[in-house]
Structure 1
Amino acid sequence: MGVKIGEEVGYTIRFEDQTNPSVTVIKFLTDGVLIREMMDDPLLTKYSVIMVDEAHERSLSTDMLLGLLKKIQRRRPELRIIISSATIEAKSMSTFFQARKKDLRHAAEDSVPSHLPAVLSVEGKGYTVEIHYVEEPVPDYLQAAVGTVLSINDKEPAGDILVFLTGQDDIDAAVKLLREDTQDDRRRTSGLLVLPLYSGLSRVDQDLVFAPTPKGKRKVVISTNIAETSLTLEGVVYVVDSGFSKQRFYNPISDIESLVVTPISKASARQRAGRAGRIQPGKCFRLYTEEYFLKEMPTEGIPEMQRSNLVSCVIQLKALGIDNILGFDWLASPPPEAMVRALEVLYSLGILDEDAKLTSPIGYQVAEIPLDPMISKMILSACNFGCSEEIITIAAVLSVQSIWVSMWGAQKEFDEVKLRFAAAEGDHVTYLNVYKGFLNSGKSSQWCYKNYLNYQAMKKVVDVREQLSRLLRRLGLALKSCEKDTQILRKAIIAGFFANSCHLEEYSHNGLYKTVRSSEEVYIHPSSVLFRVNPKWVVYHSLVSTNKHYMRNVIAIDPSWLIEAAPHFYQVRTPNLAPC
């Protein structure tokens, strides 16, 4: 648009604001940030038009935002709301935004849009994509994907290939198979440039994906569903769609989040096929039958609202003054069990009182911090323990996806490097060592590369830490250092995560732990510095289920600290501690 970013056109994301209130007229921002803006401006009065893009993805924040916007528009009928997506079910979205009967009866008291939401179809510039299906279901989608790439390379004209697989393990395996094939210069596959694409890649590897394809080469990008809508790859003419993606499903009973390989929806299938028709007519090779697509594939995926931990969602709605959360106008109703679990967690942390209202000051302070409430409680407790300088560093690391870079084929070297930073207390203290090393290096990208660290993630940690520091000062809370007192540090962590405690099973030779709260069988994740160390008692940041239930970001503790931190949650029982 020919303007400088941050002036007429700007953006706001969590912990970063590139706008000028007196000049900016168009602002790009995440749905989560817009929800947080409602805390200071409940009716979003500074906006006259709000456009929600990629609404078909049905993220937790998007569903919350749509419910809130519907509520706002009843008070501000002049507000224009645009919901856009290439594959959205427009009719159902239009129905959601129509005023309910009880609203119409009270139209004189409360302004209600008198017209139905318009449904517009805007034809974008695109090319025809020829769809190919397999005749019979494939027994192994990974092998089928590799075979399809080789077939395209043999039979089809020039053009890059985009392959959709489920996750890093599948992608690395496919990359290995194709690279082994390309190393034989006598074969036609020697012209293939095979590249992975997933969120944990280093910046250097990401840049290779977006760089122009060298002359005489055909680029093959093997990606997760991040390439469905989040980014555009120039030069893609062929798409190979495995028909699967990896999604997170939260079980509120066990408090375990599982990464599950699931079939995609028709909406996702259309998005994937559309990647092939950006620059010229393309082809999409679907590794499933046409009959399955037409008769069995679900129209839309399961919204995040119905498969996620709702703790952060509940506290945001409470902070916006919405007390009747079950009566909130949801686009898709959340599971009652997940809602009850979220209320239990917030009550146990002292964030909600017995009437399910925000406590003062803790509840309101937690609501001000744009992080998971357990992390926020940890930060506030650290101010009392006198270790807030260290804890905001840990919180910043936990808020980014991963500071480590996965280097294919270099696991031994990676483990050796990680060992240099490892702390006996666990992952949280290890992160402090990494952060200190990064600062001592002068925030060097080369240092990060040598130590298998994601430079962009480390820069983000520094930025987030600075934002948290400013936020605590604004809340009138002092920043103090505990000067390497890791006991105090761990007690502050427990203040936020006491519900996530586990003990090692007696006579366990394979590192089997049981959660204190629900006796779930869990293991320390191999990425943890405590993997195979197996302290008797630990507290974890999150539980993820793949082939086993794994604890991520683990720290060793003394069990007596649990009663000290949460006497309302624990009581002593011989021989172990148990929740009330």
Structure 2
Amino acid sequence: MDSRHEFSKNARKRPNENDDDDEGEDEAISHLIVHQKLPPFLDGKIKFSKQVNPVLPVKDPTCDMAVNAKKGSSLVKELRQQKEVKKAQRKEWELKNTQIGEIMNVKNEDEADAKNGSYKDKYSKHLDTLKADKKKIQTQRKSLPVFSCRDELLHIISENNVVIVVGETGSGKTTQLTQYLHEEGYADSGCIACTQPRRVAAMSVAQRVSQEMGVDLGKEVGYSIRFEDNTSKDTVIKYMTDGILLRESLSDQDLESYSCIIMDEAHERSLNTDILFGLLRNIATQRNDLRLIITSATMDAGKFSSFFGSVPVFKIPGRTFPVEIFHSATVVSDFVAQAVSQAINIHLGSKEDGDILVFMPGQEEIEVTCDKIDERLSFVKSQSPDVEIKELKILPMYSALSPEKQAEVFKEAPKGTRKCIVATNIAETSLTVDGVKYVIDSGYSRLKVFQPKMGIDALLIYPISQANANQRSGRAGRTSSGICYRLYTENQYKEELLVTSVPEIQRSNLANVILLLKSLNVKDLMSFKFMDPPPQDNMSNSMYQLWMLGALDNHGELTKLGRDMANFPLDPTMSKMVIESIADGCANEVLIIVSMLSGPNVFYRPEGREEESDRERERFYIHDSDHLTLLNVYKQWQRNRESSNWCSLRFINYRLMVKVKDVVDQLKHIMKTHKYRISSTDDENIIKRCICKSYFHQAAMLKNLKEYQNLRTGMPCHLHPTSALFNAGSLPKYIIYHELVMTTKEYMHCATAVQADWLSELGPMFYSLRTSVYNAEKKQKPLAIYTR
């Protein structure tokens, strides 16, 4: 296949032309031709999956809930637009400089962290107080449902290599099972591992277990998450994300260092968990000494049991209280506005104690919900000053929240105060919050869904499944009888929601997974035992991505470059950039750029000081490269002794910068382990060319004012307003970008200007230059041609 797009480059004179003679001169135009080539192994004849058709994460894309999910909340949109208007109208004199902030004693969390100890220490202190003042630890351990069946459970584990354990959230399976195995002596022959699908859960549970055992976190009990390893040679109980265990299998294919592996929250079916299922299924047949325990919070354990060969299922007796469920009488058009009203009605109308838990899709919806509940409640109080209204402590809960704010959610509310927790689906099963009596279920969550035709991941809102809905309602019956308000009709629950969620493996980009499986010598992907096979399109598109990066050869086999790329816990594109930087002599700079890209944006924009923040950000801009801008931020921070005060004055998140430094150090450790050379350069073009070597497949050409067009797909792409290139006087003709983020528009995240000849040289399977000559005397104009 070789369809083509053709674009013209800026006109340029022949080398020997007379500059003084403007009439009748010939000029050469270079046309960038884009090829759509496929490797032989993607000729359509080879199948990589038993799942031929795409798997949609929604039952019916035309149903009311699916349509409302696509539209989103009108209230959220309205507030977003209001913020943009305020930003445009705000005058510079309103906050002339940071001195006003100093006079007002405005401090950010990073400054406080720097003065009061590290954020890790603060998180530990917060977690140390959780529940400890309610009961003595041992009494509390014995009060958990799992304790009543401890001996029976341990007997079944001793008799079987693989056991499925079903227990409701709060049954104690996550914190107690590792300790029971330790008490039985399993740690004498190897470490006891417990995987978690989320970083927050791995950290918080490890902290809790270390507290229960009376040991320091990081010693006998530790945790390991990407770019953060808090374990030691003394660690016998190790909590980790499933991705960490997956990467450990590269160097220890039979996972010999572990005597027991607990795969917790298996019902969530994360991408890494599903791959581990396939690997551990084989390992368990080869290692009679290994004990594999799969835990789930749902009763749908039959599928797990069948997959592992009809292994026994053990159910921990529950102690949940009855939950009354109310469905909306009519279709809800704005779930955020309705949730706000429902929360206010509960707080004002219920005389009973009990906290409120509101489920929202993501951070933006959570913040708007919190703000609006607070605003509405303040208005009610102002209108009824003589009426005594109980205090309502409104708490957001999402993964990007600071650790100390996350820990606030678990604290018992003061007497006379009710908590209202507004959370993502992290509160469904991963974290247990006591005291919740009322649940408000919006009916939606955010899912990352890979779109193979466009080759991008889109984080979009979708209706939840019936299984999710049942998990959410169950949160109301943890400590007493409860009530769940579903913001969708009973008919919508039955007719519009899938029975169970589509596993992540069936809606994800699988490039990283395929690279890892190939590194584990899985040659035939069709023969790999997936619990639910990924769609053919996702598999072939992901293999295509690896081929164009040079990780796979024309036969679909792993290359040396691909094997080197697999050594890094990074997206394949960034892994390639790191490997290429070794030969290019810019490894130090690329490691910093990759580390800055691996986490959240380090800049923040406090409300009321947006313009001031934007001005500080612009001081770091490298006019033609967001990648080099990130490098500039990090290097200036280093030159200023990694100061928290320096960060504060420039609206940079100090905690995130410390995290970036940790990532840089860990990547350098990997480089040294594999004896890769780390060198440095000040030549910006060398760095930009190195970036282009990995991102040439994500190149775009300027179409009109601030709008670009993807060279390979023709898809419109826009520079983000925070990009260093956004306000450039003259925009570059060609750019490459880190990723495309779909929000209100298709925004390019982190863009860098490149040259047409770089694209043709570094991505020859896609691009080539063709030169044509025209005569200026005939007033011919070079035209941009777009053909298929």
Q: Give the TM-score normalised by the residue count of structure 1.
A: 0.89
* Distance (whole Å) between structure 2 residues aligned to residue 232 and residue 446 of structure 1: 36
Pairing 1:36-435 to 2, within 5 Å after superposition: 36-87=247-298, 89-98=300-309, 116-156=310-350, 157-184=352-379, 185-186=381-382, 187=384, 191-202=391-402, 205-206=405-406, 208-210=408-410, 212-360=412-560, 362-405=561-604, 407-408=606-607, 410-435=609-634
Match of 1:516 among 711, 714, 721: 711
Partner residue of 1:104?
none
* Distance (whole Å) between structure 1 residues aligned to residue 613 and residue 412 of structure 2: 30
> What amino acid does structure 2 have at the position aligned with 1:146?
V
Aligned residues: 557
Pairing 1:548-559 to 2, within 5 Å after superposition: 548-559=745-756
> What amino acid does structure 2 have at the position aligned with 1:130?
E
| 2:393–2:417 contact (8 Å) kept in structure 1 | yes
Change (3 A) 1:440 1:162: farther
| 2:592–2:664 contact (8 Å) kept in structure 1 | yes
| 1:55–1:88 contact (8 Å) kept in structure 2 | no
* Distance (whole Å) between structure 1 residues aligned to residue 357 and residue 613 of structure 2: 29
Partner residue of 2:223?
11
CA shift, 1:436, in A, is 2.7
Change (3 A) 1:176 1:17: closer
Change (3 A) 1:334 1:159: same
Question: Whose radius of gyration is greater, 1 or 2?
Answer: 2
* Distance (whole Å) between structure 2 residues aligned to residue 552 and residue 526 of structure 1: 10
Match of 2:677 among 468, 472, 478: 478
Change (3 A) 1:131 1:96: same
* Distance (whole Å) between structure 2 residues aligned to residue 263 and residue 180 of structure 1: 28
> What amino acid does structure 2 have at the position aligned with 1:542?
E
Any gaps of 5 or more consecutive residues in structure 2?
1-212, 772-782
> What amino acid does structure 2 have at the position aligned with 1:555?
T
Q: Give the TM-score normalised by the residue count of structure 2.
A: 0.67
Change (3 A) 1:243 1:446: farther
**Cα deviations by residue, 1:242-300 (Å, 9 ceiling, x for unpaired):** 00011111111211222221100122222222333344433221111233324442121
Partner residue of 2:685?
487
Q: 3-state SS of the aligned residue for 1:432? A: helix
Partner residue of 1:460?
659
> What amino acid does structure 1 have at the position aligned with 2:333?
P
| 2:452–2:537 contact (8 Å) kept in structure 1 | yes
> What amino acid does structure 2 have at the position aligned with 1:389?
N
CA shift, 1:241, in A, is 0.8
Greater mean deviation of Cα atoms: 531-540 or 302-311: 531-540
CA shift, 1:411, in A, is 3.5
* Distance (whole Å) between structure 1 residues aligned to residue 484 and residue 567 of structure 2: 46
* Distance (whole Å) between structure 2 residues aligned to residue 579 and residue 475 of structure 1: 46
CA shift, 1:197, in A, is 3.0
**Cα deviations by residue, 1:348-388 (Å, 9 ceiling, x for unpaired):** 2221222222222x222111111111101101111222111
**Cα deviations by residue, 1:60-93 (Å, 9 ceiling, x for unpaired):** 1011010111122222244322111112521111
* Distance (whole Å) between structure 2 residues aligned to residue 470 and residue 197 of structure 1: 33
* Distance (whole Å) between structure 2 residues aligned to residue 450 and residue 232 of structure 1: 38
| 2:249–2:255 contact (8 Å) kept in structure 1 | yes
Structure 1 residue 35 corresponds to structure 2 residue 35: no
Structure 1 residue 26 corresponds to structure 2 residue 237: yes
Task: Give the fraction of aligned pairs with identical amino acids, expressed as a percent.
Answer: 40
CA shift, 1:216, in A, is 4.0
Q: 3-state SS of the aligned residue for 2:251? A: coil
* Distance (whole Å) between structure 1 residues aligned to residue 484 and residue 654 of structure 2: 35
Q: 3-state SS of the aligned residue for 1:39? A: helix
* Distance (whole Å) between structure 2 residues aligned to residue 454 and residue 233 of structure 1: 29
Greater mean deviation of Cα atoms: 524-533 or 28-37: 524-533
Change (3 A) 1:409 1:139: farther
Greater mean deviation of Cα atoms: 182-191 or 281-290: 182-191
Change (3 A) 1:452 1:201: farther
Relative contact order (C-alpha < 8 Å, sep 6+): which is higher? Answer: 2
* Distance (whole Å) between structure 2 residues aligned to residue 577 and residue 439 of structure 1: 47
Any gaps of 5 or more consecutive residues in structure 1?
99-115
* Distance (whole Å) between structure 1 residues aligned to residue 724 and residue 416 of structure 2: 45
Greater mean deviation of Cα atoms: 140-149 or 441-450: 441-450
* Distance (whole Å) between structure 2 residues aligned to residue 513 and residue 301 of structure 1: 36
* Distance (whole Å) between structure 2 residues aligned to residue 455 and residue 274 of structure 1: 39
* Distance (whole Å) between structure 2 residues aligned to residue 36 and residue 68 of structure 1: 12
* Distance (whole Å) between structure 2 residues aligned to residue 496 and residue 427 of structure 1: 16
| 2:757–2:769 contact (8 Å) kept in structure 1 | no
Q: 3-state SS of the aligned residue for 2:700? A: strand
| 1:9–1:19 contact (8 Å) kept in structure 2 | yes
CA shift, 1:576, in A, is 6.9
* Distance (whole Å) between structure 2 residues aligned to residue 490 and residue 192 of structure 1: 52
**Cα deviations by residue, 1:448-467 (Å, 9 ceiling, x for unpaired):** 44444333322221111001
| 2:390–2:418 contact (8 Å) kept in structure 1 | no
Change (3 A) 1:528 1:229: farther
RMSD: 2.6
* Distance (whole Å) between structure 1 residues aligned to residue 744 and residue 305 of structure 2: 41
CA shift, 1:181, in A, is 2.0
Greater mean deviation of Cα atoms: 185-194 or 432-441: 185-194
Partner residue of 1:546?
743
| 1:172–1:408 contact (8 Å) kept in structure 2 | no
Q: 3-state SS of the aligned residue for 1:396? A: helix
| 1:51–1:81 contact (8 Å) kept in structure 2 | yes
* Distance (whole Å) between structure 2 residues aligned to residue 273 and residue 452 of structure 1: 40
> What amino acid does structure 2 have at the position aligned with 1:490?
K
* Distance (whole Å) between structure 1 residues aligned to residue 722 and residue 299 of structure 2: 38
* Distance (whole Å) between structure 1 residues aligned to residue 607 and residue 432 of structure 2: 25
* Distance (whole Å) between structure 1 residues aligned to residue 636 and residue 662 of structure 2: 16
* Distance (whole Å) between structure 1 residues aligned to residue 496 and residue 765 of structure 2: 49
Q: 3-state SS of the aligned residue for 2:539? A: helix
